Amino acid sequence: MGCGGYALLGEGTAELKRLFVDPVTRGRGVGMAIVRAIAIRHKWLAPPSEFYRARMTTGLF
C-alpha cells in the first residue's frame, strides 16, 4: 500500500524524505497513516518532543 522514511537534519529538525502510496489506494488515508506512524514512533506528536520542526518537499512522480 505505501511506505515512507525520514532523515534527522540536526537542530531539532527532521525531514520526511520519502512517501510512496500505491495509486490504487490513494485518497484513502494511507499516506496520513504512514506520516502519523513515523511521528508517533519518534515522539514528534508527544510533548516534550525532541524535534521542533518537521519538513517535507512534495511533488508528482
Strands 53-56 and 2-10, how do they pair?
unpaired
CA 51 to CA 37: how far, in whole Å?
15
* pTM score of the predicted model: 0.64
Kindly indicate the confidence band of residue 24, based on its pLDDT and cuts at 50, 70 and 90: very high
CA atoms within 13 A on the CB side of 52: 3
Contact 21, 32 (CB under 8 A): no
pLDDT tens-digit series, residues 11-20: 767 788 888 8
pLDDT at 22: 92
